[in-house]
Amino acid sequence: MHEDLEKILFTREQIMQRIGELAGEISRDYEGRELILVTVLKGAVFFLTHLAQSLSIPVRLDFLSIASFSPGRTLPGVVRINKDLDHDIQHRDVMLVEDIVDTGLTLRYLLNVLSGRQPSSLVVCTFLDKAPRRLVDIPVKYRCFEIPDRFVVGFGLDYNQRYRTLPCVGILKSQIYQGK
């Protein structure tokens, strides 16, 4: 285990198994259709690549990059799109792929933006769901894991751009992470 982790929540093996199960469910639900996977950079990319490879339906990939609107996120949920999608999603089946849903405020903003572009369908698929912290009711259709109200890193999730490449998801020691 990495020395900065307090505890491992999910090993790489557990993550891979769960992604496989989820991919099976999604492939069944979208049988005969093509899905646009819209991924929020950068944290969700690790989840996306494994999920996309495990799907048996045709998919197209597109990416969004966002930043909090003001330094220190004094206005939670107010985000700015730094990089928009490359393709039109009108009349397409779209799945928004997220690394983690916490308060849900970021997702609410993104869903508003994307639904305004009139996709035929729009659902959310998140790697981690920190349900106890939810402030707004967001429809999360697919989730890999529910997690407790702790700050986690690994498998794409960072703290100050570190720990993304850890093969597991773990709780960061509180001496390292303060204030979230």
Which of the 8 DSSP states describes residue 173?
A: P
Query: Which residues share a beta bridge with 100?
Result: 128
Nearer to ligand 5GP, 117 or 133 (CB): 133
Among candidate residues 62, 86, 93, 102, the one labeled active-site is 102
Rg (CA), the chain: 16
Binding mask 100-129 for ligand 5GP (x = CB under 6 A): xxxxxxxx----------------------
Tell me, by CB under 6 A, how many residues bind ligand 5GP: 18
Residue 72 burial by CB count (10 A; 0-12/13-18/19+): exposed, middle or buried? exposed
Q: Does 99 bind ligand 5GP (CB under 6 A)?
A: yes
Q: Does 14 bind ligand 5GP (CB under 6 A)?
A: no
Residue 102 annotated to the active site? yes
In the complex, the smallest distance separating the C-beta of residue 98 from ligand 5GP, rounded to whole angstroms, is: 6
Which of the 8 DSSP states describes residue 154?
A: B
Residue in 42, 14, 82 with CA at minimum distance from that of residue 163:
42
In the complex, the smallest distance separating the C-beta of residue 180 from ligand 5GP, rounded to whole angstroms, is: 7
Provide the H-helix boundaries in the chain: 12-29, 45-54, 105-115
Q: Does 154 bind ligand 5GP (CB under 6 A)?
A: no
Q: Which of residues 48-77 bind ligand 5GP (CB under 6 A)?
A: 77
Nearer to ligand 5GP, 93 or 172 (CB): 172
Provide the H-helix boundaries in 55-104: none
Which of the 8 DSSP states describes residue 158?
A: -
Contacting positions for ligand 5GP (CB under 6 A): 43, 77, 99-107, 130, 151-153, 157-159
- The catalytic residues are 102
